[in-house]
Structure 1
Amino acid sequence: MKKSRGRTGRKRRRKHLKSFMAGVNCSHKLEYIKLKKWLKDRGFEDSNLRPAEFLETGRGLMTTKALQAGDLIISLPEKCLLTTGTVLSSCLGGHIVKWKPPVSPLLALCTFLIAEKHAGEKSPWKPYLDVLPKTYTCPACLEPGVINLLPKPLKKKAQEQQMMIQELFRSSKAFFSSLQPLFAENTGAIFTYSALEWAWCTINTRTIYMKQPRRECFSWEPDVYALAPYLDLLNHSPNVQVKAAFNEQTRSYEIWTNSACKKYQEVFICYGPHDNQRLLLEYGFVAMDNPHSSVYVSADTLLKYFSPLDKQKKAKVSILKDHDFLENLTFGWDGPSWRLLTALKLLRLAADEFACWRRILLGDVISARNEQQALDTAAKICQFLIEETQQVLLQISQLKRDKENLKTHLALVEMLCSEDLKILQKSAEILCNLNLGTT
């Protein structure tokens, strides 16, 4: 059939594209039907939110009516929330209370998720468990080869995250073994490392902040986690604002929007003003054109641009370290950060200016020469990071062809690096303009 080229055809194509961009409603899928029924049985009133698949964000929630600033997005009853109170009310409760030293609230929740997942059809939480991700893209789940592609500061944090989960697993083996009376199968086959990793990622990426009363049966780590079925399908956008809190009167966790949202569009909430490295580390995703994003300069990268012959270098580095100026040095959409430029100015102090180092930390201008040298060095570091990022993107492109099984993880790192490259190129442009203005 010949493709329509008239006005009607154009309208039809625009409507189809608009529908595709808006999202594909998934309410008809069995897992969501079961989840909504399960939530209704626990007092959740059907809202205007529908599960849907979106082109850019994947699974999320769309609204069936236009939302205005001040509208309630969702109100989830306390009975729907999964907290440490839920865990203590389960068959695990007695074992947790008796165990010494006390387990952490995090471990209690992880244990509950693993146990309920193992219970399968017998679990009262099955409708919720069925819609949870089967795998995650947190750095903890990435292959070592993929982690090596991350920017240095993030790579270090990713490795620390993996080590933390490994240590949690190692230190929890005895506790897991104590639960054997509850299971016909050997606990070693149930509470595996991969099971704990999945549970940890579920809690780390999907919980809301909800402070729980202090309980003696738990360790002193913060008890602030609550899994919120259905609500946790809401995706993050750095460009929206919401109010979220537990309403003591309605005994529900509520989210109110401060941003408008059109009918049939995806509803977003904001997880916080996080940069992309934080989003990837904590949630396993990257936000495009994130206004909060920045590129971090490691201390090693910073210091290699200064001569080892500088007799005051050791003292300068010591000052920066003592005053916490070797961390959180960044390039952003508006150029090098004040912290980065301050560190560069201090490191670029001439011998006869060194006595003025305190003024540098206070933001004073010491000399035009010092200011210019700091900008020049910032430009060099920026260019180095641009070339380094471009090299990583080239590596990723090659790996995507060779490592089919790592494509998803590589695409995520590729997105992070692409966003970093845009920031660095913008910073380089700003620095170039600043240098032109001083010549």
Structure 2
Amino acid sequence: MESWLKRSGVSGLDDLELADFSDTGRGVRTRRQFEKGEKILTIPNGVLWTVKHAYADPIIGPALLSAQPLLSVDDTLATYILFVRSHWSGDYGLGSHVAALPASYTSSIFFAEDELEVSAGSSLYTITKQLDQQIEVDYKELVERLFGRHQELFPRDKFTIEDYKWALCTVWSRAMDFKLGDGDSIRLLAAFADMLNHSSEVEQCHIYDVKSGDLSVLAGKNYKAGDQVFINYGPVPNNRLLRLYGFVVPGNPNDSYDLVLATHPMAPFFEQKHKLWVSAGLDSTSTVSLTLTDPLPSSVLRYLRIQRLNESDLAVMMSHQSDAASERISDSNEVEVLRFLVESISSLLDGFGTQLEKLGEQLAEGFYSPGGNAWSAAHVSLGEQRVLRLARKKAEDLLAAVETGSGIKRAQCAACKKVSVQLMRCGRCNEYKLG
């Protein structure tokens, strides 16, 4: 691959080499010292994998363009990769890049059921199950729209669903995304640069030149000869790292939980409330990221304050939409919102297959093989539970302050002493939903 890249005008390869590292696996090592900000590697536009290049290919391009509507970016790139692998894999052009790709990946869609089950209750578990189903649907559509119509280009034995999953994970784990000046974006794969591993200790250092179409990698920190070169994928939580890239960062400070807030269109006063949500920068279905640093963002409270408005409060709010729900609307509304949050988050936490304390003990005792799939799934579950516990604690503190200040007493179940709160106000219209 390196000889082809040099012939193609890639600069910087003489100062770098591929190497195996004990903690990250395959990566890139320096052969000399680099100063932070110094250009390490430049890959010209003609060597990159892009949708535009796939369309321009004289063999596969016409077939891709014949599929109307056009395939998604990921499906186009995945198909292009499989096409090259099936025709020119080896020391020739893009085929030499494909030959250097991993034979398998550790993304969560490849987990055995018992490995994924370790993360039961987490967003990773739910999304992975959904992805498995969606991939089957998308593959069948690809066969119908493209593979089946051009079997001479896409032989069935080299374009199986397992091949498709492998190619998708190649795109997910190795593609780079850049915003363009006109507001559009580009997703690309770059040979050799895709061997760079992630570290949060370096600054983001990969750059796309819109004019030339070239990709450059700068030194994200000072490097000595023999150091591993890293790039920074950004503040990515473990649930996303494992789903897309196949690894986790123990104790990841960027761990998060995406909270979905939704209200059914048949709920009372839906149209009026929808206007208030929009004025507050939200929508009737809003996804809010809960993080370790901000476990209960103000947007969650803004959403639920509007959702729980009664008729009289709604009339008042509609008269001044500009600051809708930015502050407490009333003591009763705030108590209802916070009680709902406390019990709903508790329900989410109860849904995890293994509770936080037990997971911590298992990880500390080496119950899961370090670096294995189950070990990674355990770290995802651990991180999401930590975030949700912080969110519940903040909601509990806010609730106690409101109840103390307003003199409102908690309604408790006589049997279990838990705060009584109605999770779903109406079973028919499903007005309230939190998940």
Please give the TM-score of this superposition, normalised by the length of structure 1: 0.68
Checking the alignment, whether the CA contact within 8 Å between 1:242 and 1:257 is kept in structure 2 is no
1:92 aligns with 2:54: no
**2:284 and 2:199 mapped to 1: Cα distance?**
30
Give the corresponding residue for 1:74. Answer: 41
Is the aligned partner of 1:414 residue 2:378?
yes
Deviation, 1:417, is 0.7
Does the alignment pair 1:296 with 2:263? no
The Cα offsets for residues 326-352 of structure 1, whole Å up to 9 and x where unpaired, read as: 431443213312122223434555676
Match of 2:207 among 245, 252, 277: 245
1:37 equivalenced with 2:3 (yes/no): yes
Residue in 1 that maps onto 2:232: 270
**Rounded Cα–Cα distance in structure 2 between residues aligned with 1:150 and 1:46:** 44
C-alpha contact 2:16 2:30 (8 A) present in aligned 1: yes
User: Among residues 190, 195, 208, which one is paired with 2:176 in the alignment?
Assistant: 208
Q: CA–CA distance in 2 between the matches of 1:372 and 1:61?
A: 55
Q: For residue 176 of structure 1, what is the aligned residue in structure 2? A: 147
Shift of 1:365: 1.9
Moved more, 129-138 or 388-397: 388-397
8 Å contact 1:75–1:252 — kept in the other structure? yes
**1:105-136 alpha-carbon deviations (Å, 9 max, x no partner):** 54443333223323444754343223312222
Query: What does 1:290-329 align with in structure 2 at a 5 Å threshold?
Result: 290-299=252-261, 314-315=267-268, 323=277, 324-329=283-288
CA offset at residue 195 of structure 1?
1.1
* Structure 1 SS opposite 2:286: coil
Match of residue 335, structure 1, among 289, 295, 309 = 295
CA distance in 2 between counterparts of 1:37 and 1:128 reads: 11
The CA RMSD over aligned residues, in Å, is 4.4
Does residue 130 of structure 1 match 2:83?
Answer: no
Give the corresponding residue for 2:85: 117
Name structure 2 gaps, 5 residues minimum: 278-282, 363-367, 405-435
Going from structure 1 to structure 2, the CA distance change for 1:270 and 1:316 (only over 3 Å counts) comes to: farther
Answer yes or no: is the 8 Å Cα contact 2:97–2:191 preserved in 1.
Answer: yes
Query: What amino acid does structure 1 have at the position aligned with 2:96?
Result: P
Count the aligned residue pairs: 379
**Aligned partners of 1:397, 1:289: CA distance in 2, in Å?**
15
**Structure 2 counterpart of 1:391:** 354
User: CA 1:117–1:253 in structure 2 vs 1: closer, same or farther (change >3 Å)?
Assistant: same
How has the CA–CA distance of structure 1 residues 265 and 337 changed in structure 2, closer, same or farther, with 3 Å as cutoff? farther
Structure 1 residues 131, 55: closer, same or farther in 2, change over 3 A? Answer: same
1:396 Cα shift? 12
Aligned sequence identity (%)? 22
2:13 maps to: 46
Tell me how far apart the structure 1 counterparts of residues 149 and 132 of structure 2 sit (CA, whole Å). 25
Aligned to 2:388: 424
Corresponding residue of 1:197: 165
1:59 corresponding residue in structure 2: 26
Distance 2:236 2:172 in 1: 15
| Contact kept? 2:309, 2:333, Cα under 8 Å | yes
In the aligned structure 1, how far is the partner of 2:81 from the partner of 2:98?
A: 8
- Residue 280 of structure 2 is matched in structure 1 by none
SS at match of 2:37: coil
Secondary structure of the 2:83 match is helix
Query: What CA distance in whole angstroms lies between the structure 2 residues aligned with 1:132 and 1:432?
Result: 49
Considering fraction of residues, name the structure with more helix.
Answer: 1
| Pairwise CA distance, 1:170 | 1.6
Query: How do 1:322-401 residues align onto structure 2 when only pairs under 5 Å count?
Result: 323=277, 324-333=283-292, 334-347=294-307, 353-356=313-316, 361-389=324-352, 391=354
Structure 2 counterpart of 1:138, one-letter code: S
1:307 aligned partner = none
In 1, distance between residues paired with 2:122 and 2:382? 16
For the residue of structure 2 that corresponds to 1:225, the secondary structure is: strand
1:266-308 CA deviation, whole Å, 9 max, x = no partner? 43323344444444444344344444432133458x99xxxxx
- Aligned partners of 2:306 and 2:325 also within 8 Å: no
Partner of 2:131: 161
1:232 offset after TM fit, Å?
0.8
| Displacement of 1:228 | 0.5
Between the aligned partners of 1:203 and 1:384, the Cα distance in structure 2 is 36
CA–CA distance in 1 between the matches of 2:135 and 2:162?
10
Task: Return the offset for 1:389.
Answer: 3.2
Q: CA deviation at 1:169?
A: 2.1
2:49 and 2:189 in contact (8 A); partners too: yes
**Counterparts of 2:299 and 2:115 in 1: how far apart (Å)?**
30
- Alignment match, 2:50: 83
Paired residue secondary structure (1:224): strand
CA distance 1:320–1:284, shift in 2 (3 Å): farther
